A and B are shown apart, each in its own frame.
Chain A
Amino acid sequence: MIELTAHDWQAIQLTLKLCLYTTLILLLLGTPLAWWLAQGQSRGQCRVRTAIQALVALPLVLPPTVLGFYLLLLLGPQGAVGGTLERLGFQHLAFSFPGILIGSVIYSLPFTVQPLLESFRRMGPRPLEVAQTLGAGKLDQLFSVVLPLCRGGFIVAATLTFAHTLGEFGVILMLGGSIPGETQVLSVLIYDHTEAMNYSQAHQLSLGLLIAAFVVLFIVYGLNKRFDRGPLT
């Protein structure tokens, strides 16, 4: 019943790769960012922090086309980033996997930062102050206090980021074109199958994505519940 072509598998593989890379990069970038934003909360607001927080949340409200449009101009051969890369002898980033990866990282940023911010805030400054009096170094504090206490936040951030990247469409369509194996992720391939009137293939992939997305969200909400009852609340 399920007959996926090599073309479909290629898109599935590409999509998983994009989701995985995006999640890893965002956990690395989002953790310090969320941490910094969380500090602002306890020591009174400052304008820069508020501005950054608004910037981080922008992808939630902006149409993906706005982001796609600007990234296309920025990363393309005539853009500031793409043009500089070309002059340095590299390739520009429009219509390439690194290009859509950058797009995904920006687009999914709030889905990493928000849950982390929330869990850092819930932890509050107290556990770290205690750790400090006990003589724990900065790295020790991160690995022995922050990571275990905010484990739930990290898991939710990672799964939400992964799931959100799975459902990305507009930015990738504009920035990536629809190049098989390079930028043609599942959502774009489904669009292409529909246009070609390959309804049965569009069905298979759509249903697959629907089930995958449900399972991921089911896990997220399940975890949320578990950690809500955890020692921190």
Chain B
Amino acid sequence: MRILWVFSLLLCMLPVRASEPLTIAAASDLRYALDEIIALYQNEHPKARIRVSYGSSGKISTQIRHGAPFDLFFSADIQFPEQLYAEGHVSTAPELYAIGRIVLWSPRLDLTEVTLSQLNALSFRRLAIAQPAHAPYGLRAKEALQALGLWDVLEPKLVYGENIAQTAQMAQSGAAEVAIIALSLARFPQLSRHGYQLIPSDLHQPLTQAYSVTRHGANNASAHRFATFMQSSEARSILEHYGFELPARRVK
């Protein structure tokens, strides 16, 4: 045991990097949009070293609480960075960047004529949603199903993805016939050849998306630079392309 201790002490003295890269943690609904925004950013800042880790907003929050070395956190629900801000784990107040929407999506059933309320009439075995406990898109899907009185009926058919990208993958692979996923994922070229049905936003709480610079990234200049870039019109137009509704522009 003592050997382990000494060894772990020795090891943590080792990693001293020359220039700190920017490590972003982002909600899975951003998977394709953010990749594009980063590529654009790297065109303008060729020396920037950026790495991204995608997951559910709840899971990332927990990781940040346990000291994950993320510099910038893009959450699908403002509630998570707000809580982290109150606890002192993030250093800037959450900044709004987009509003997300949920859609009913299936690679095998034709949903163009089917609204969420008619879902029960459809014949299918599995409906995939994200885990409501820690994935905002899952919670909103649950709220919409509850608002329509369908939750209790459909619950036996539900399968849960760890995050919204995995939920989309479950349906894409055919493991579930139908899924409630983020509009931003349904817009991804690979998935958008199958139609989707937009779920009315009055059926659930809004998916208010916000980012914060973490305590870990407080002194990382590129974290702040990238955060500012998210407010640029280039970044905003990519978000818009993926179906995000945009908040009013920040007043400078």
Contacts and interface: CB of A to CB of B under 8 A. Distances in A.
A195 B166 contact: yes
A93 B165 contact: no
B67 A102 contact: no
A82 B66 CA distance: 10
A197 B173 CA distance: 9
Contacts of A96: 12, 15, 69
B129 to A, nearest CB: 16
Interface string A172-189: 000001111110100000
Contact of B51 (A101, A105, A181): A181
A194 interface: yes
Contact of A94 (B21, B31, B68): B68
Given A95-B67, A98-B15, A177-B53, 10 more contacts: A72-B66, A78-B66, A81-B5, A81-B8, A90-B12, A91-B12, A93-B12, A95-B63, A98-B14, A179-B68
B11 interface: yes
Given A93-B8, A94-B66, A197-B190, A180 B166 contact: no
Interface residues of A, number: 33
A76 B67 contact: yes
A90 B4 contact: no
Interface in A52-89: 72, 76-78, 81-82, 85
A102 B12 contact: no
Contacts of B163: 195
Contact of A180 (B7, B51, B165): B51
Contacts of B23: 179
Contact of A25 (B7, B9, B28, B68): B7
Interface string A13-26: 00000000000010
B13 A90 contact: yes
Contacts of A102: 4, 8
A90 B4 CA distance: 16
Nearest to A175: B66
Contacts of A194: 169
Nearest to B3: A29
Interface of A: 25, 29, 72, 76-78, 81-82, 85, 90-98, 101-102, 105, 177-182, 184, 192, 194-197
Contact of A95 (B5, B66, B169): B66
Given A90-B9, A177-B53, A197 B172 contact: yes
A178 B8 contact: no
A154 B54 CA distance: 40
Given A90-B13, A195-B169, A197-B172, A98 B8 contact: yes
A95 B65 CA distance: 11
Nearest to B172: A197
B55 interface: yes
A96 B14 CA distance: 12
Contacts of A76: 66-67
27 contacts: A76-B67, A81-B8, A82-B67, A85-B12, A90-B12, A93-B12, A96-B12, A96-B69, A98-B11, A98-B12, A98-B14, A101-B11, A177-B53, A177-B55, A178-B54, A179-B23, A179-B68, A180-B52, A180-B53, A184-B53, A195-B31, A195-B54, A195-B163, A195-B166, A196-B54, A197-B168, A197-B169
Given A102-B4, A192-B54, A97 B15 contact: yes
A180 B50 CA distance: 10
A97 B21 CA distance: 16
Closest 4 CB pairs of A and B: A98-B11, A77-B67, A76-B66, A180-B51
A87 to B, nearest CB: 13
A93 B28 CA distance: 25
Contacts of A78: 66
Interface in B115-162: none
